[in-house]
Amino acid sequence: MQQKKKTLGEFIIENQSEFKFSSGELSKLINAIRLAAKVVNHEVNKAGLIDILGAAGDTNIQGENQQKLDVLANERFIQTLKNREIVCGIASEEEDDFIAINSLDNQHQNKYVVLIDPLDGSSNIDVNVSVGTIFSIYRRVTPIGSPVTLEDFLQPGINQVAAGYIVYGTSTMLVYTTGHGVNGFTLNPAIGTFYLSNPDMQFPESGNIYSVNEGNYIHFPQGVKDYIKYCQMEEGDRPYTSRYIGSLVSDFHRNMIKGGIYMYPKSSVNSEGKLRLLYECNPMAFLAEQANGKASDGFGRIMEIQPTELHQRVPFFCGSRLMVEKAEEFMAAGQ
Ligand code: AHG
Ligand code: MN
Ligand code: MN
Ligand code: MN
C-alpha cells in the first residue's frame, strides 16, 4: 500500500517540540516563509509571460542592478512577515538597512529576526534558469520589549535557530533546518502544498563535482588555483566534473544530493569574495553542517565569523566535508 506523504504543515506541527523554548512562534514564522515562498514561486513561474522580466532600473546597496523579480520577491517576503507580526526585524540583501518591525501594540514581544536573500541567482531569470530564496533566523540578543538594533542582526552563524532555501527549479522545493538535520519538501503546484520528499538530506562525504566561476581563475589566490588543478588531474576518481549554474542555491542543492564542492573565493578584483556572509554564507553553512557537510572561508569555519556589517562579504567554500578539507589544505599551502 502506498504511504501517505507528509505535508510541510504536518511536519512543522509534529516537530514543534524540538524547539527548546517553544511558544509556537518559530513554527508560525516557518509557516509564513512557506506562504511567501508559494507567492514568489507563482511570480517566478509566470516571469516569461508578463512584463516583470528584466532590470528594475535601480541599483541595490551591493552595486548590482536590481532585477524586477528581485524587488518583487523582496516586497513579498517582507510584506508576508510584517503582516503576520511574527518577527521583530528583517534584513535583506535588497535593503540598505535592517527593518525594525513594531507590533501593533508597540510592545515588541516578538523574539526573532529574519535575514533574507529574496532572489538568489537573479542574473539567471532572463534565461529561464533556476533561482532561489535564502533565509536565516536568529533569536534577538537585545531585550524583548525594546526595538531591535543592529546588534540583533550581526550575530555569528552559530547562533542561527533555523535556516533554509527555496529553489524555484524544475520543481519548487523548500529545504530547511532547525538544527535537527535537513529536510526537503517539494511543492505540488496543482494544489499548492509542499510534501516531505527528501527527509534527512546528507552531503556525501566526498564527491566528484567542483563548482566555481573559472572565468575568474587568473584573479584567484594561489591555493585556489592549485586546488582547481588538483580537481582536473587524472588520478583516482579525478578529474572531477565541473558544474556551475551561477545560482548558489541551485549549485548547493545539486552538490548536496550528488556530492561536490562550491567555491566563491576572494580574488584580486573582489578582495572579500562576492557572497554575503549574513544572507548567503551563514544559512548555507548551517544547512551544510546539518547535512554532514562543511563550510569554510578557506581557513576557518564560516559560522564562527563575527559579522561587522550587514552586507559583509566573505570567501566561501562549501560542500562535501572531505572536499572542503582538501581545499583548505591547498589554501594553507598556497599562503
Ligand atoms: P544574487 O543573485 O542574490 O545577487 O546572488 C548571486 C550570487 C550567487 O547566487 C552566485 O553563485 C554568484 O553570485 C554568481 O556570481 P558570478 O556570476 O560572479 O559567478
Ligand atoms: Mn543580488
Ligand atoms: Mn544571492
Ligand atoms: Mn539576491
Statement to judge: residues 185 and 63 lie in one domain = yes
Q: Are 135 and 112 in contact (CB under 8 A)?
A: no
Residue 320 identity: S
Statement to judge: residues 56 and 174 lie in one domain = yes
Residue 275, pLDDT above cutoff 90: yes
Q: What is the DSSP letter of 127?
A: G
* Local confidence band at 53 (pLDDT 50, 70, 90 cut-offs): low
The grid cell for 140 is 534577538
- Residues that constitute the known binding site for Mg(2+): 93, 117, 119-120, 280
Ligand 4 center from residue 89 Cα (angstroms): 19
Q: Does residue 121 form part of some domain? A: yes
Q: Does residue 85 form part of some domain? A: yes
Statement to judge: residues 231 and 326 lie in one domain = yes
State pLDDT tens for residues 78-134.
Answer: 999 998 888 999 999 999 999 999 866 667 688 999 999 999 999 888 888 999 999
Q: Which of 198, 221, 252 is the last residue of a domain?
A: 198
Residues whose CB is less than 8 angstroms from the CB of residue 66 and which lie 6 or more positions away in sequence, other chains included: 55, 56, 57, 58, 59, 60, 94
Other C-beta atoms within 10 Å of 219: how many?
14
Q: Which of 135, 165, 198 is the last residue of a domain?
A: 198
Task: For residue 139, give Cα distances in angstroms to 65, 72, 88, 175, 330.
Answer: 32, 27, 10, 20, 36
Q: What is the domain range of residue 14?
A: 8-198
Other C-beta atoms within 10 Å of 171: how many?
11
Statement to judge: residues 193 and 215 lie in one domain = no
Q: Does residue 204 form part of some domain? A: no
What is this structure's pTM?
Answer: 0.96
Q: What is the ipTM of this complex?
A: 0.97
Using CB distances shorter than 6 Å, the residues near ligand 1 are: 64, 93, 117, 120-122, 213, 246-248, 274
Statement to judge: residues 253 and 328 lie in one domain = yes
Burial 312-322 (b: 16+ CB within 10 A, else e): ebbbbbbbbbb
Q: Whose CA is nearest to atom 3 of ligand 1?
A: 120
Q: Does residue 203 form part of some domain? A: no
Statement to judge: residues 49 and 147 lie in one domain = yes
Please identify, by atom number, the ligand 1 atom nearest to the C-alpha of residue 121. Answer: 2
Number of domains in the chain: 2
Which backbone phi and psi does 276 adopt, to 5 degrees? Answer: -90, 130
Cell 565569523 belongs to 305
Ligand 4 center from residue 169 Cα (angstroms): 16
The grid cell for 323 is 572536499
Residues whose CB is less than 8 angstroms from the CB of residue 232 and which lie 6 or more positions away in sequence, other chains included: 238, 239, 240
Here the CATH number for the domain that contains residue 246 is 3.40.190.80
